[in-house]
Structure 1
Amino acid sequence: MTTHVTPARKAAGPAPRTGRSPVRRPRARRLPFSPWHLVLAPLALAFALPLLWLLLSSVMTNAEINRFPPALWPESVDLGGYRYVLGNAMFPRWFANSLVVSAVAVLSNLLLGSLGGYAFARMRFAGSRVLLGLMLATMVIPFQLTMIPTFLVMKRLGLIDTLGALIVPALVTPFAVFLFRQFFLSLPREMEEAAWIDGCSRLRVLLSIVLPLARPALATVAVLTFLSTWNDLTWPLIAINHDTQYTLQLGLTTFQGQHHTRWSAVMAGNVVTVLPVLVAFLLAQKTFIQSLTSSGLKG
């Protein structure tokens, strides 16, 4: 396509430059944070309100807690609930029982869950898929259907009213095996094959190569197992009768009587109970989120 130039335009010559720079459009101002924070911040505040209310109620008196309409802010800081809880002679024993049960459950799920997950991910044996399907099917069975058979098994083993009745059913969970399997499937096989060529056994490959790469999955299983075991109330209520074997959650129910309840002590005990859970999650927060957002839950 040719451009025709008129004689008048040739005589006039090129258009003179005015020396003005081209007009620049003003840049749109960007927020110093992601726009999603405008949605997530109110949601985070909504989820934090029960925890804030728990903390405020723990420093109120029983009269302020039972007042109607309820008091939103304590008139003065009252630590009577904490003194009652920490002064209870059995509270340290309950705390130690919960810590022992949760620690053993976490360690056993990390060990047995990683072994089972690696076997399902890398080893092919007769009936492996059927066995995996049956194991995953147990995840949809409600606890109410299995608590009576579990109680009978624990009774046959002579573990009722001992911490063993709380530890043995929690030694390994199907979810831990499934999560490890899904994470191991996402890892490349080349490093493992190179180790096999060098003469390493499967167990040595798992301990030296696979598990160091599976820190996100390890942290996720540890946090979720600790949460479920530490906060469990239903099964200890069935399997434990003597107060010396109570866990922390079961011991806190003794503060609620039939005719009178020390709500300040209940709130203070719940604050003490929640603190280990918050610390455990904060310590494993990065690896926990990395596991959920990367390959830990891929199909």
Structure 2
Amino acid sequence: MAEQVLTRSRRLPGIGTLILLLFTIALAAVWLLPFAWTLLTSLKPESETTDVPLHWLPRDVTLDAYRSVLSTNDIWVWLFNSVFTASAVTFLVVLLSSTAAYGFARTGFRGRRVLFALVVAGILVPTEVVVVPLFQEMVFLGLVDTPWGVILPQVVLPAMVYILKIFFDGVPRELEEAALMDGASRWRIYWQIILPLSRPVLAAVAIFTFITTWNNFLWPFIVTADPGSMTLPVGLATVQGSYGVRYAEIMATVIIAGLPLLLVFVLFQRHIVRGVAHTGMAGR
């Protein structure tokens, strides 16, 4: 009898677990309700979006808003620009941040601590503070309204250098010492030892960078004026301005813009979790 009671008590969740579960459900609802409203509104005829009182479910489900959005604006150009920009920024961030982090973690060059302190300090600088000098620099270089004018200022991410440096500090130095004894160069050690061992954290950095770049509105909005150079978030702002109160079409554009990110997260969520665990960010 005692064993049955003990077994049952082990199976039943504790109060703390129930509270955590309810809190998680509440957070999920906070995110899902606006998404559900957006999706359902995009499936309504335009005349239903302003009905009073408001109703959740569309009386007549229609895809007219999606057809209108996909056929009457530059959304495919904006989508291509976003994919190209986010992919280029992600590649350059992973390459440059990993090389910089390896230099900070494994080499003893003069001024290393001062430079790393500046990198850490760069994490604290808001993007808005450097927007004006960055724009002046892009004007001087003739990169306004060009893809590289959107890409290059987003490549410098001190937070990613810091995360990768923390991970590289945990890689056993014995592996590098053995490779150095065999005659391997620093560059070869970086490519053939450090990077293969760092795949989880590199995947997490790449995914976070891709998502951040995809959602970035401020800098692409400032540096682009030609619709052919705009990314998707900036293009959506022009759609909203031109459509006015056409809520179904606005919601349709939001759904279209969010689908690639949702796909990326679904496909790579395992890498995100592993990367966070490897960097130790979960407990910070």
Letter in 2 for 1:185: D
Identify if the C-alpha distance between structure 1 residues 215 and 31 changes in structure 2 by more than 3 Å, giving closer, same or farther.
Answer: farther
Paired residue secondary structure (1:294): helix
1:184 and 2:168 correspond: yes
Q: Which has the larger radius of gyration?
A: 1
Mapping of residues 283-298 of structure 1, within 5 Å = 283-297=267-281
**1:44 & 1:89 partners in 2: Cα distance?**
33
1:255 aligns with 239
1:267 and 2:251 correspond: yes
2:65 aligns with 81
- Conserved? CA contact 2:167–2:278, under 8 Å: no
- Conserved? CA contact 1:186–1:295, under 8 Å: no
Paired residue secondary structure (1:153): helix
2:262 aligns with 278
**1:174 & 1:211 partners in 2: Cα distance?**
19
**2:249 & 2:104 partners in 1: Cα distance?**
47
Cα displacement (A) at 1:72: 1.4
* Residue of 40, 48, 51 corresponding to 1:67: 51
Mapping of residues 106-121 of structure 1, within 5 Å = 106-121=90-105
1:245 and 2:229 correspond: yes
TM-score of the superposed pair, with normalisation by structure 1: 0.86
- Conserved? CA contact 2:176–2:189, under 8 Å: yes
- Conserved? CA contact 1:85–1:269, under 8 Å: yes
Letter in 1 for 2:147: L
**2:144 & 2:4 partners in 1: Cα distance?**
77
State the Cα RMSD in Å. Answer: 2.2
Mapping of residues 3-18 of structure 1, within 5 Å = none
- Conserved? CA contact 2:200–2:278, under 8 Å: no
Cα displacement (A) at 1:23: 7.3
Report the identity percentage.
Answer: 36
Cα displacement (A) at 1:276: 1.0
1:58 aligns with 42
1:140 and 2:120 correspond: no
1:28 aligns with 8
- Which consecutive aligned stretches of 4+ in structure 1 deviate over 4 angstroms post-superposition? 22-25, 31-36
Listed one character per residue, the Cα deviations across residues 192-219 of structure 1 (whole Å, up to 9, x for unaligned) are: 2111111111111111111111112111
TM-score of the superposed pair, with normalisation by structure 2: 0.90
Cα displacement (A) at 1:40: 2.3
- Conserved? CA contact 1:59–1:81, under 8 Å: yes
1:122 and 2:102 correspond: no
**1:254 & 1:74 partners in 2: Cα distance?**
26
Structure 2: gaps (5+ residues) = none
Q: Greater share of helix residues, 1 or 2?
A: 2
Cα displacement (A) at 1:64: 2.5
Letter in 2 for 1:198: D
2:115 aligns with 131
| Mean Cα deviation higher: 168-177 or 249-258 | 249-258
Paired residue secondary structure (1:60): coil
- Conserved? CA contact 2:94–2:202, under 8 Å: yes
1:226 aligns with 210
| Mean Cα deviation higher: 253-262 or 281-290 | 253-262
- Conserved? CA contact 1:54–1:267, under 8 Å: yes
Cα displacement (A) at 1:281: 1.7
Identify if the C-alpha distance between structure 1 residues 31 and 275 changes in structure 2 by more than 3 Å, giving closer, same or farther.
Answer: farther
* Residue of 146, 153, 156 corresponding to 2:137: 153
- Conserved? CA contact 2:201–2:279, under 8 Å: no
Listed one character per residue, the Cα deviations across residues 274-297 of structure 1 (whole Å, up to 9, x for unaligned) are: 111111122221121122223344
Cα displacement (A) at 1:31: 4.4
| Mean Cα deviation higher: 205-214 or 67-76 | 67-76
